[in-house]
Amino acid sequence: MRSLRSILVTGGAGFIGSTLVRKLLEREDLEKLTILDKLTYAGNRRNLIGPDRDPRLELIEGDLLDRSLLDAILTNTPYTGILNLAAETHVDRSIDCPQPFINTNIQGVATLLDAARHHQVALLQCSTDEVYGRTPAHQRFDEFARLNPSSPYAASKASADLLVQAAFKTHHQEVIITRCSNNYGPRQHREKLIPKLIYQALRDLPLPIYGSGQQIRDWMHVDDCCLGIIAAFEKGPAGRIFNLGAKSEHTNLGIARGVLKILKKPEKLITHVEDRPGHDDRYALDPRQALRVLQWRARIPFRSGFEATVRELAAELRPEE
């Protein structure tokens, strides 16, 4: 069991990162939690309202590519682990301009890996199901499936995973990888599917759906995801990869219809638009290794978690009177 006594979370002001911070602060064995976040458009101090009152929490604004800053942080405190959630994540943005994804998701991870190795701190890399590419019907990818990314975003995350695996093989570095399915929950940025649909629906604006809307994703509540990340860090053998998924598959069109039903808005707001390039039609993970090794499984039912999320995000995204 690795210790959670003193943890550095990179990207801790983002959607998943801020939830992970909340889950870590629930632990009585945690003594210090430092967030390193670049605070770009996706990292928001408001995501940390509540946790920011905990005296164990420290927020540092900075970039993964700043090696001198990483060295200073890791020298000043004897951290027992680093959980890397710092990433550029929006597929559409990666298609329009891939360079920031290369900078943060590849070069940033390389810099963080080197610093973690130098300071002998265990590192968990949070990755994505998109590194596997399209999942064929009636299959779910396990951790041994080949990497076959379709977007610049997915390619950058796959590249980072390979760097992490190489660090284990070459240097026997203390590293773990988690690959997560689509997350939903509070504090998600408005560019993502569910918050975007809610924002549009509340204003009676068209809900843009790529192509037919039959693209399938496995949806997992962010609380479950973060508990899986913590379990992987604590219990996962070095060099291992763990798929974290909920086996809760829904089409994008079905998600849009669900949002409209909860908000009592008409389905005529759904507008089909030209599909984006390289759009995979299905992602699905096999999470059995996480259950067997980590004793982790997703526990929040989609129906209740989704409705609670829609209502909470709707309260935040309503037009001002």
Compute and round to an integer the Cα radius of gyration of the chain: 19
| Among 153, 184, 199, 283, the one annotated catalytic | 153
| Among 37, 63, 88, 129, the one annotated catalytic | 129
What is the secondary structure of 83-114 as a DSSP string?
EE------HHHHHH--HHHIIIIIIIHHHHHH
Could you tell me if 39 and 61 are in contact, meaning their C-beta atoms sit under 8 angstroms apart?
yes
Residue type for position 196: K
User: What backbone phi and psi angles, to 5 degrees, belong to 26?
Assistant: -75, -15
Per-residue DSSP letter, 281:
S
| CB-based contacts of 179, cutoff 8 Å, min separation 6 | 127, 128, 129, 131, 132, 143, 161, 241, 242, 243, 244, 285
210 part of the active site: no
| Among 37, 63, 88, 130, the one annotated catalytic | 130
63 part of the active site: no
Which SS3 state, helix, strand or coil, does residue 253 take?
helix
130 part of the active site: yes
Among all residues, which ones are annotated catalytic? 129-130, 153
